[in-house]
Structure 1
Amino acid sequence: MKSYKIKIKSIAITGTIAFLLAQASCTRDFENINKNPLNPDKEMEQMDGVLNGAYMPTLQKNVIPVGAASDATNYVNKYQIVVNLAGDGWAGYMSPRDNKFNAGQNFTTGFFIQSWVNNSFSWRITDVFAPWIQLKNINTAGTNPNKEMFALAQITKIAALHRTTDMFGPIPYSKVGSGSFKVEYDSQEDVYKSFFAELDEAIAVLADFLNRGNTTVPNAADVLYNGDVRKWIKFANSLMLRLAIRVRFADNNLAKQYAEKAVAHSVGLIDTQADIAKMATGANLTMKNSLKVIKDEYNDTRMGATIWCYLKGYNDPRVNVYFDNNGSKAVRIGIPSTADLYESASKPIAGEYDPTYWMKASEVFFLKAEGALAGYNMGATPKYFYEQGITMSFAENAQAIGSYLSNTSQPAAYADPASTALYSAGAPSTVTVAWDDKDTEERKLEKIITQKYLAIYPDGQEAWSEWRRTGYPRQVPPAVNYTNSGVILSDGYKNGIRRMPYPQSEYDQNTANVQSAVQKYLTGTDNAATNLWWDKKPKN
């Protein structure tokens, strides 16, 4: 890891706007004709879209931190702290090559370094809301608001901030936008209900735009889909489905309502590779993969023990796409500093310009599988969507599926590749791949989430959220627990890190509001062992 330096760059905005000279009276359009094109008002900014080109890519870069070449390592360092050393490790996808950070006392061992927590909160709150507020001001003001552009900003904001609330729980939300970030917190339940309402509205705006014959939002400055309206609607529906399934153990009626609504929409969901939501090339920008720098230039990350057990036990060919050296060696999360003991362990495969995925088509099939398992009207059986999810994942990774769907092998025991074998562990689960209608509902859920886990790699935060919500996939637990925040060492199914505590900066600068949120929404305890609102499923 390189030291993170905040760089404030001025944004130079230039542009020319041609005068529109009316054929009629010169006095009738006097006000419009005499607008200064070098000092545009809100209406001119909306027409030209030049400020969207500054703020929309910035908002999108902060959903999962990823930057272009001009951003140096700013976004890489964000990614390493808030993704790779958090969700990636807590989900068992990856582990540090040498847990050198703060002498092994860091996120991977349940210890919350205050500067890391402060930065994580700022990156996940301020760096998302700041460009969104600008986009809101630009596109909702004046007599001719750009509703379609604001709809894209709303969907992007939700894609980012659901990761924030899923990390911290209650967050400042409804009151942000009035010029200050030091405002009251909303409960996570209220935040999610706002997400659903805002997605509903954004989808309706874009669907109306599409129905009027428009296929592209002009001047969108959109890295994700280059303003493609149909793809944005599919992503928004898929995001709604993800969030609906996320809350099903907390509010089944709410989950059912929005899951069925998402699936029933006439435009559909992400169900082909062409519709996958990914940050790659768009808006005249090319993104550089953050994980590539972390695993090569920093030489800081390796294959995790949990994913190794499943890929190895199932003889899963995706291992050759996910990790180098055929995924031959992995590192258990939560071990002390080990110097070069695990230097030869497998690195994640990530090219310099490989996409950063927000949502894959395979995930959507697994979401529908779980919805069908819960009794929601998804359009087919859990088995159908489960097998479609696996099949799509193999296609996304250009691997032949062969007989994988009938695979009855079990996950492997973890073999520590170091000579001492100090951190070896038994197989985390006995779950197999092949679907069996005679299995219990719980066993079927474990299969769905385990295969979903293998499909959505390397999105560690989503995998960690799903593990907290369901207990699956069962994990090789961290080896040691150096917690300073109440964490109970996991057995691979329950306990473990449930959330990130609030930073000291909030207690210093937003004291009354954060204290009130802890009392009202977190039963008075702000630590990493406190369950989030949607984390309600009993785990015995």
Structure 2
Amino acid sequence: MRTLSITLVATLLALSALLVSCTGDFKDFNTDQTGITDEDMKIDFNNLGIPLDIIQQGIYFNYDFGKGKNWPFQLMQNLNADMFSGYMHDYKPLNGGSHNSDYNLQDGWNGTDWGYTYAYVLPQIKKLEDSTRVVYPSVYAVTKVLKVEVMHRISDIYGPIVYTNFANTEGNYRPDTQQEAYDAFFRDLDEAAGILREYAESRAKGPDISKFDILLDGRPISWLRFANSLRMRLAVRIAMVDPARAKAEFLKSAFDKAGVFEQPSECVRVSTRNGYQNPLGEINRVWGEAFMNASMESILTGYEDPRMELFFEPCAEDVERPGDEAVVALKNRYKGIRQGTCFSHFLYASHSCLYVNQSTAPILMTAAEIWFLRAEAALRGWTAEDPGTCYREGVVTSFRQWGADGSDDYLQSERVGADYRDAFDPANDIAARCLVTPKWEEEASHEVKLEKIITQKWIALFPEGGEAWAEQRRTGYPRLFPVRINNSKDGCIDTETMIRRLNFPADIVDTDAPLYERLVEAFGKPDHAGSRLWWDTGRNF
């Protein structure tokens, strides 16, 4: 038993003041800001290795750009997508307790995905594309796959992006609408897959990039399977807004004899073998600022999910509540923090932190995700596969990936999410929202079946909050707890509908007003966090 002391801790607001404005005049993004010289690139295939390293580190951003590591990731993902997805929450009362958690969105945090991607990652992609297109086609194809992986994440946060016109020689940086961007993503995957397929089938030799490849193994067949799997992800994303295109793109991957990820060992992870460190691990283990979200507590404890003890740690001790010295029984329990309560104390530091440490390879894609994509495609009638079979394969694959036992019993479970009881403030209590069971039910409606698929997919995606948030917005599943207090500007975010996107970086208005105007025009809706993206239709069938 212990009493938590309330101490002054430096918050990320101080760090965000250090943030260089990376979202300035867009022509500046044509100037490489990494500081790498042409001479550096001539040694030991560094012309391939250095850009690949920066790009792969930049997906789950932990590139050492001379201004410190880890805190950019906290701003870029952990304090938005990781929280909005229902996965995590910080225990600190940042900004006095009112910030992204209660939709008082912090522009200094939310522009970082855009700024750092365009300043550091996309220039390296462009450089590698240009230098490999003719002389190293296999590396060019890998670069194309990486480009789609990097930029679909940015588009799924903001909507329109500068993609096809990035580094335009005529200075025309016209943004792509999200529909145009997705069309370009599919074209780039077509081109990449064609090249990789030729190399894989002919066993042609390209440069050996295995020592530079920190996502896979450098082999064309592995990258082809990644390209096919990524196409499936993006195809299902547009299932409601463009169903004919979605089905056609999905079937390209389904019928490709190279296949997609299927086995538990087939994961796209950012390897830590070459010195990369997991920024979430630093935030979690060293800073102590990543904890279980209340929605995650409700679903995992309600389901008695065996993966819970692999995702999170139980509370270490009971806690004496300040004021009345009442003992709050927490030891060995799994407890999460509800989003949007504007708490102004540090008591939630007693709750469940994550399993992740600095040497944990961050997960970008798993075979379980692909099985759930196949389950949804089958449910929509795109394929002749059985939705229930694919669903069960997804659950079993996730269990095996994590080394969890009991998948057979779990798949027969009729348990539902648990009510949330706040450890310190009963005003934050809320009844369970997730009322579907893990057990597949053939007689259930398509909507209920989809809810089961996406709920299990959400669990299997952990801890990759970016993809989890995108799928939760697209489908509405799993059913997360709404914020208790909604401080969105002018009430632009509906409490029950929840946050739909991040607005374009605020400093673009001042530094590049013409670009901002073009972005808003391409979006076609008010530039606020309550506006739905192109693929976010608000319906599932």
Task: Give TM-score, length-normalised by structure 2.
Answer: 0.87
CA distance in 2, matches of 1:327, 1:368: 35
Deviation at 1:273, TM superposition (A): 3.0
Counterpart residue number, 1:32: none
Which residue identity does 2:360 align to in structure 1?
D
Counterpart residue number, 2:187: 197
Give structure 2 stretches of 5+ with no counterpart.
1-10, 21-32, 315-331
The count of aligned residue pairs is 497
Q: Percent identity?
A: 28
Q: Is residue 2:144 matched to residue 1:159? A: no
Distance change (3 Å), C-alpha of 1:260 and 1:132: same
Q: Secondary structure at the match of 2:360?
A: coil
Deviation at 1:320, TM superposition (A): 0.3
Q: Is residue 2:86 matched to residue 1:92? A: yes
Which residue identity does 1:294 align to in structure 2?
I
Counterpart residue number, 1:82: 76
Which residue identity does 1:538 align to in structure 2?
R
Give the counterpart of 2:227 among 230, 233, 236: 236
Counterpart residue number, 2:339: 333
Deviation per CA, 1:5-62: give whole Å up to 9, x if none: 57976447768xxxxxxxxxxxxxxxxxxxxxxx96xxxx8xx632111111101111
Deviation per CA, 1:430-456: give whole Å up to 9, x if none: 111100110000000000000001100
Q: Is residue 2:528 matched to residue 1:527? A: yes
Distance change (3 Å), C-alpha of 1:338 and 1:490: same
Q: Is residue 2:188 matched to residue 1:183? A: no
Q: Is residue 2:59 matched to residue 1:63? A: yes
RMSD: 2.4
Distance change (3 Å), C-alpha of 1:219 and 1:95: closer
Give the counterpart of 1:456 among 447, 461, 469: 461
Distance change (3 Å), C-alpha of 1:129 and 1:49: same
Q: Is residue 2:255 matched to residue 1:255? A: no
Q: Is residue 2:200 matched to residue 1:206? A: no
- Contact 1:94 / 1:301 at 8 angstroms: preserved in 2? yes
Counterpart residue number, 1:124: 117
CA distance in 2, matches of 1:341, 1:351: 23
CA distance in 2, matches of 1:462, 1:490: 21
Give the counterpart of 1:289 among 259, 278, 288: 278
CA distance in 1, matches of 2:473, 2:203: 43
CA distance in 2, matches of 1:169, 1:83: 16
Deviates more, 1:269-278 or 1:425-434: 269-278
Deviation at 1:215, TM superposition (A): 7.2
Counterpart residue number, 2:96: 103
Counterpart residue number, 1:537: 538
Deviation at 1:217, TM superposition (A): 4.5
CA distance in 2, matches of 1:415, 1:433: 23
**Which protein is bigger by CA-based radius of gyration?**
1
Q: Secondary structure at the match of 2:348?
A: coil
Q: Secondary structure at the match of 2:426?
A: coil
Q: Secondary structure at the match of 2:269?
A: strand
Counterpart residue number, 1:351: 357
CA distance in 2, matches of 1:126, 1:182: 17
Deviates more, 1:197-206 or 1:499-508: 499-508
Deviation per CA, 1:149-181: give whole Å up to 9, x if none: 111111111101101000000111111023698
Counterpart residue number, 1:30: none
Counterpart residue number, 1:467: 472
Task: Give TM-score, length-normalised by structure 1.
Answer: 0.87
Counterpart residue number, 2:371: 365
Distance change (3 Å), C-alpha of 1:362 and 1:191: same
Counterpart residue number, 1:515: 517
Deviation at 1:373, TM superposition (A): 0.5
Deviation per CA, 1:305-336: give whole Å up to 9, x if none: 11111101110010000000166111101221
Give the counterpart of 1:393 among 398, 421, 425: 398
- Contact 1:318 / 1:399 at 8 angstroms: preserved in 2? yes
Q: Is residue 2:261 matched to residue 1:270? A: yes
Q: Secondary structure at the match of 2:149?
A: helix
Distance change (3 Å), C-alpha of 1:108 and 1:539: farther
CA distance in 2, matches of 1:347, 1:181: 47
Counterpart residue number, 2:130: 137
- Contact 1:245 / 1:371 at 8 angstroms: preserved in 2? yes
Q: Is residue 2:503 matched to residue 1:501? A: yes
Q: How does 1:25-64 map to 2 (within 5 A)?
A: 49-64=45-60
- Contact 2:62 / 2:277 at 8 angstroms: preserved in 1? yes
Deviation at 1:146, TM superposition (A): 1.3
- Contact 2:336 / 2:351 at 8 angstroms: preserved in 1? yes
Distance change (3 Å), C-alpha of 1:98 and 1:371: same
Give structure 1 stretches of 5+ with no counterpart.
16-38
- Contact 2:215 / 2:268 at 8 angstroms: preserved in 1? yes
Distance change (3 Å), C-alpha of 1:393 and 1:274: closer
Which residue identity does 1:56 align to in structure 2?
L
Counterpart residue number, 1:27: none
Distance change (3 Å), C-alpha of 1:485 and 1:155: farther
- Contact 2:165 / 2:172 at 8 angstroms: preserved in 1? no
Distance change (3 Å), C-alpha of 1:310 and 1:208: same
Distance change (3 Å), C-alpha of 1:178 and 1:516: closer
Q: Secondary structure at the match of 1:277?
A: strand
